[in-house]
Amino acid sequence: MTKKPLIGLTPLVDIERESYWMLPGYMELLEEAGAVPVMLPLTDEPAAIRCLVEKMDGFLITGGHDVALWVYGALPEADNVKPCPERDRMELVLLREALKADKPVFGICRGLQIINTALGGTLWQDLPTQHPSGIAHVQEEAYDVLSHAVTLPDGSFLKALLGQDEIRVNSFHHQAIKDLAPGLTAAAISPDGLIEAIEMPGKRFVKAVQWHPEFAYKKDETSRKIAGCFVKACAEE
């Protein structure tokens, strides 16, 4: 790969401090894979988003706040849902324009959830109360510890990329896919039945994982391979 693709990252938002920011792991993960990462402005202005889609070679939708209930037409079923309306609005517009332009999109944690809900899927609003299991989806270990396994279905991009039936991942989420959106397929499934990775067949690269490769990549070759696959797609003309 000779070209260093320019990849836009959706910003993390601190509502109380009226700021937006970025964890270095997201950028370092992409830099190590050969990309030039750029944090995007927090905007849902259509013309601005179209400009970004034209200029960038791909997009990483980062983790962060819960997806707002209105995005997937749900009624409140938990009292600990903490959305960020600014991010919801921005990422819905960004995803629509990126899909229209067939630009590569990779989602991490919230990124998986916003892709699923934007395309018509739903979420468990709080796993411990709505989908209890023996899997600790908010692990107590350090962020780079791989705490549970996921199975990779036949035909999934992860099985093709990694050549394995199962991998281990880290886990820091209290929400997850409930109903998978039409047009998406599952690329990884946890032992308690949750879909933990998705892909959109027919698109150049629209994929997402529920876990956090930006925390694990220094120790985990799988995280590096997934990032490399995304960056390679962004570099292709």
Residue 109 annotated among the catalytic residues of the structure: yes
Q: What percent of the chain has pLDDT over 90?
A: 97
Residues 6+ apart with CB under 8 A from 96: 118
Residue range 6-235, CATH number: 3.40.50.880
Set 174, 212, 229, 234: catalytic member: 212
- Distances, alpha carbon 161 to alpha carbons 103, 164, 165, 230, in Å: 20, 8, 11, 11
Output the six-digit token pair for 60: 């990483």
For the chain, the average pLDDT equals 97
Set 65, 84, 97, 109: catalytic member: 109
pLDDT tens across 170-189, in order? Answer: 999 999 999 999 999 999 99
pTM of this prediction exceeds 0.85: yes
Q: Where are the beta strands (DSSP E) in 105-145?
A: 105-108, 122-124
Residue 214 annotated among the catalytic residues of the structure: yes
Set 65, 174, 214, 234: catalytic member: 214
pLDDT tens across 55-69, in order? Answer: 999 999 999 999 999
Residue 51 annotated among the catalytic residues of the structure: no
pLDDT tens across 127-174, in order? Answer: 999 999 999 999 999 999 999 999 999 999 999 999 999 999 999 999
Dihedral (CA of 173, 178, 182, 185) sign: positive
| Residue showing tokens 């370092």 | 28
Domain ranges, ordered by start, for the chain: 6-235
pLDDT (average), residues 64-91? 97
